[in-house]
Structure 1
Amino acid sequence: MPLNCIAPKPENQGNIPMEGLSRTSESDNSAVLAYPMQTNSQSILQHTLFSINLKFEEVVYKVKLEQKGFCWGAWSTRDKTILNGITGMVCPGEILAMLGPSGSGKTTLLTALGGRLNGKLSGKITYNGQPFSGAVKRRTGFVAQDDVLYPHLTVTETLLFTALLRLPKSLARNEKAQHVERVISELGLTRCRNSMIGGPLFRGISGGEKKRVSIGQEMLINPSLLLLDEPTSGLDSTTAQRILTTIKRLASGGRTVVTTIHQPSSRLYHMFDKVILLSEGCPIYNGPASTAMEYFSSVGFSTCMTVNPADLLLDLANGISPDSKQAAEQSENMEQEQKSVREALISAYEKNISTRLKAELCSVDVNNYNYTKDGRARNNFKADQWCTSWWHQFMVLLQRGLRERRYEAFNRLRIFQVISVAVLGGLLWWHTPTSHIEDRIALLFFFSVFWGFYPLYNAVFTFPQERRMLIKERSSGMYRLSSYFLARTFGDLPLELALPTAFVIIIYWMGGLKPDPITFILSLLVVLYNVLVSQSLGLAIGAILMDIKQATTLASVTTLVFLIAGGYYVQQIPPFIVWLKYLSYSYYCYKLLLGIQYSEDDYYECSKGVFCRVVDFPAVKSVGLNHLWIDVCIMALMLVGYRLVAYLALHRVQLR
């Protein structure tokens, strides 16, 4: 079972073999991916045409498990080994398949190879003799088992925005669009190209089509290293065959491909070059797929029936010996036999494969890598840099955000909710006389409360809902966090400010507030200002907790405190807790609205024929009408501070 890598031919460095990749036959149903390799005498994906030899040695991964002790109900921790000393190598042009039952560690190993695993990982994983880096990350395509896609984008939009972010800036937009068209055609997505992806609340494309879109996102960059987690799960046999055929052709062009697969058909199994078989985190086979049956026969596990090799391998990984008479055995004896089969296979692996594999890996180090004078492997990767500029990332993310949230922000339910509250409030406060100062002040406080809490609860969901997408895209090196955050911030402005504007226009004039255009405009600006501050706090809470239930609970407590301390319900707050109102943006908004609507020289009819100063009214006197610019500055500090906290909290999100 030779495992040495064959070094790529010099003429293929930087150029994909044209045969079989540059042309597709209309009658070919295998969906060969035809990359446009020459555009204006330039390789369209020149930066990705780079061979990667992936090697991993003695990879061990452990996690801490908490368990309740018997003494006083104390909790204790213990280490559980997920991966136990896995060694292997995959070279350009090869497909390595990792097989094993559920829980055997396949996905964990794949995540480790993609540089996305956090925790207690030991061992050595190298790419052309070098550790994982940003340059490797941007040459790596990672297709997760779960399809993480924006539900309101169409298939074409999803792939186009991915191409704009991940393909090099040297390519024009129309060249990237042409590349997207080819991927859509070759993955069989033409029929659903203009259909929305869909989500749990509305129907979109099928599960198999979503899987092909996820694979297409990674195929766009023509990756040097392609990692796929269960790429055929949920697909019918024909579609799975098309996907694997496409992946096989990618590998034949010099790509390094690693995939996990649960139970492949015999047709799919024979497309693999190498196989690693895992059983409870331990390797029991590592070698060519074609010799797996022969190896297990040589160690005493043969079968007289003609079976799918993958079925036999999975039975062995589960500890089930072929042709065993399981029906006559009791469950206890069966568990013992499975344990003994696993131990025998692990022992055979250590004796027959492990030592020879390590020796071959050492020989690859000597033969295939160039070394500098001080003995270190020469770094073949370019400097760590982003594929696109910060401004380009910002503009693309802004466009994508507006496309995605066009239905989310202006759905009929939200519009009905806001407009109905505005109309109902306008009817309740219909043309309130100036003498009814209590009602007019209550209306101003309602402005500050409603648009202090409504945006907050909407913003709380933002980052927890996008966490998986953020992790996926940033793990691929698609964009900077700062460009994403600012694009999200600016993209929300027109969508989040339109509804409060309509709300104020309706209820202000129906409520009979001061009929002065300047006063109306200033009141509207204060409400919009309050919306931005409230939204900032919601973003910060969501980013810190990254859990919708916890975030909404904290938001409820916060809004309740701000409501009580807002200066309307409790006007004489005890001195030891008076500081609470200075934390409430609703308090500052309420004070600014009062300062715009009234001045110290205004009077109201406090009783028949008697006029009193507005500033002496208890609800106004408790907050005052002076130092309004200080309140504006304090709200500005809140707006910037909350968003800065949200940004820093997003930095703590683990990319895994």
Structure 2
Amino acid sequence: MDGVRKVANTGRTVVCTIHQPSTEVFSVFDSLLLLKRGGETVFAGELGNNASELIAYLESIEGVTKLKDNYNPATWMLEVTGAGVGNSNGDETDFVAVFKSSKHFQFLQSNLDQDGVSRPSTDLPELTYTDKRAATEFTQMKFLMQRFFTMYWRTASYNLTRFSLFLILGILFGITYIHAEYSSYAGVNSGMGMLFCTTGFIGFISFSSVVPIASEDRLAFYRERASQTYNALWYFVAATVVEIPYVFIGTMIFMALYFPMVGFTGAATFFAYWVHLSMHVLWQVYFGQLMAYLLPTVEVATIFGVLLQVISFLFSGFNPPGNSIPTGYKWLYDITPHRYSLALLASLVFGDCPSDGDGSEIGCKVMTGLPPSLSENMRVKDYLEDVFLMKHSHIWRNFAFVFGFIVIYRLLGLLTLRFVNHQKK
């Protein structure tokens, strides 16, 4: 209550509902509105020092027991008006009628019976607001940015959990593939399975982690949007930006162990792989936020999102590979975002055969152990292009598709924030 008192001292009006407060708390208030059952006014006016005005008013009413020394005036007030446990006058005295004949009521009526208060005034200008919200657009953006970055910094369970899982995945996959070779038919397929699993696990962790966070904060957003505290656009922008540094840090933790341990080489390839993996994680996070905004509960959002993820895994181009997907299902293959993320990473490490030696040289290797259905002397790069339909020359096109999915998910998220409301009251 000391904090409330400090706010009131700045000139702001603070309205509190209280039930049988202590003497110390009761003395903090300046005025009192006391209502009986049904909403009729028993008292409205200044409390005075140590509730002296209220005490004097109630004691002036015939039949009201005087306030005892060192007795809580709030408790006494409720008892004598019939709202307390030990009341004696509540049924005998009509406190509403008494108040209407008091000077306090006349004072209220005189204040209300003025032009510009209870009726329009020709002398006062019309009260209009030029802006829908009190804060400027820049102020809304600044404080929402600060709020989200503070919230993420304080939500250690969210960020430390995904960082730890990324670290564990990097160690597990690194140890599993530490002596892997990528020149045989089995080795290349095993390497493709590794890429499929790493992107799948990291993406699913990112998706499932963000759904509860976004759903929980959505409740505060509904309240604040209803009071026009800020524009939904700036909430959306802040929720978008705050994820970027955490995603890039998390994927770097994974890459620092995973990339060298599995036998990938090339500084340029490392950097490109890190950026593309981060883009994959970003669209998974934004997809999770979209599900949280669109669907009513965390459980429904998670189940529906997992269903879409499983369908996407089937048409990502790994199993079955791109050239084996039936023609009737090619459209699912074309609209699956996982396909473009996997193609980006696979073409970086298996689909490149650089002449300057600055990238991954795995694509230049001639494969061994090929089945009779494939031509002899086939390079890893050629196998990737013919079987999985993943070409190094399509990197920028695939990157554009991944970026496009990020934009689509964010636009859908913005529209959902603006037009969908699951608040039931």
Distance 2:97 2:144 in 1: 54
Q: CA deviation at 1:493?
A: 1.4
Unaligned runs of 5+ in 1: 1-231, 233-241, 325-340
Partner secondary structure for residue 405 of structure 1: helix
TM-score for the superposition, normalised by structure 2: 0.73
Distance 2:100 2:204 in 1: 62
Alignment-mate amino acid for residue 591 of structure 1 = A
Matches within 5 A, 1:327-346: none
Asked if 1:644 corresponds to 2:411, the answer is: yes
Equivalent pair of 2:251/2:277 in contact (CA under 8 Å): yes
Equivalent pair of 1:536/1:643 in contact (CA under 8 Å): yes
Q: 1:299 to 1:277 in 2, by over 3 A?
A: farther
Q: CA deviation at 1:299?
A: 8.2
Which residue among 563, 568, 586 is the counterpart of 2:338? 586
Asked if 1:322 corresponds to 2:87, the answer is: yes
Residue by residue over 1:44-99, the C-alpha shift from the partner in whole angstroms, topping out at 9 and shown as x without a partner, is: xxxxxxxxxxxxxxxxxxxxxxxxxxxxxxxxxxxxxxxxxxxxxxxxxxxxxxxx
TM-score for the superposition, normalised by structure 1: 0.50
Which residue among 360, 369, 376 is the counterpart of 1:606? 369
Q: CA deviation at 1:422?
A: 0.4
Equivalent pair of 2:337/2:402 in contact (CA under 8 Å): yes
2:258 alignment counterpart: 507
Which residue among 212, 224, 236 is the counterpart of 1:485? 236
Which residue among 417, 425, 432 is the counterpart of 2:180? 432
Equivalent pair of 1:497/1:528 in contact (CA under 8 Å): yes
Partner secondary structure for residue 259 of structure 1: coil
Q: 1:366 to 1:245 in 2, by over 3 A?
A: closer
Distance 1:323 1:247 in 2: 38
Partner secondary structure for residue 19 of structure 2: coil
Asked if 1:563 corresponds to 2:320, the answer is: no
Which residue among 164, 170, 175 is the counterpart of 1:422? 170
1:308 alignment counterpart: 72
Residue by residue over 1:413-448, the C-alpha shift from the partner in whole angstroms, topping out at 9 and shown as x without a partner, is: 544332222022011112421211111111221232
Matches within 5 A, 1:59-74: none
1:112 alignment counterpart: none
Q: 1:472 to 1:292 in 2, by over 3 A?
A: farther
Residue by residue over 1:623-644, the C-alpha shift from the partner in whole angstroms, topping out at 9 and shown as x without a partner, is: 4437555433332222112112
2:22 alignment counterpart: 265
Distance 2:83 2:312 in 1: 58
1:191 alignment counterpart: none
Distance 2:249 2:38 in 1: 54
Residue by residue over 1:517-562, the C-alpha shift from the partner in whole angstroms, topping out at 9 and shown as x without a partner, is: 4333332222111112111111212222364343333333333333
Equivalent pair of 2:115/2:121 in contact (CA under 8 Å): no
Distance 2:416 2:13 in 1: 35
Matches within 5 A, 1:404-483: 404-406=151-153, 408=155, 413-433=161-181, 434-435=183-184, 436-467=187-218, 469-470=220-221, 479-483=230-234
Which residue among 381, 384, 389 is the counterpart of 2:131? 384
Q: CA RMSD in A?
A: 4.4
Q: 1:294 to 1:518 in 2, by over 3 A?
A: closer
Distance 1:297 1:361 in 2: 19
2:360 alignment counterpart: none
Distance 2:389 2:100 in 1: 77
Q: 1:480 to 1:415 in 2, by over 3 A?
A: same
Q: 1:244 to 1:491 in 2, by over 3 A?
A: closer
Equivalent pair of 2:144/2:235 in contact (CA under 8 Å): yes
Equivalent pair of 2:162/2:209 in contact (CA under 8 Å): no
Q: CA deviation at 1:365?
A: 4.7
Which residue among 116, 126, 139 is the counterpart of 1:369? 116
Q: CA deviation at 1:278?
A: 4.2
Distance 2:84 2:405 in 1: 61
Q: 1:392 to 1:276 in 2, by over 3 A?
A: closer
Distance 2:290 2:105 in 1: 50
Q: 1:355 to 1:607 in 2, by over 3 A?
A: farther
Unaligned runs of 5+ in 2: 48-52, 354-362
Which residue among 542, 545, 548 is the counterpart of 2:295? 545
Alignment-mate amino acid for residue 635 of structure 1 = V
Equivalent pair of 2:55/2:67 in contact (CA under 8 Å): no
Q: 1:323 to 1:533 in 2, by over 3 A?
A: same
Equivalent pair of 1:293/1:309 in contact (CA under 8 Å): no
Distance 2:327 2:38 in 1: 62
Partner secondary structure for residue 586 of structure 1: helix
Highest CA radius of gyration, 1 or 2? 2
Distance 2:189 2:30 in 1: 80
More strand by share: 1
Matches within 5 A, 1:348-367: 348=94, 351-353=97-99, 363-367=110-114
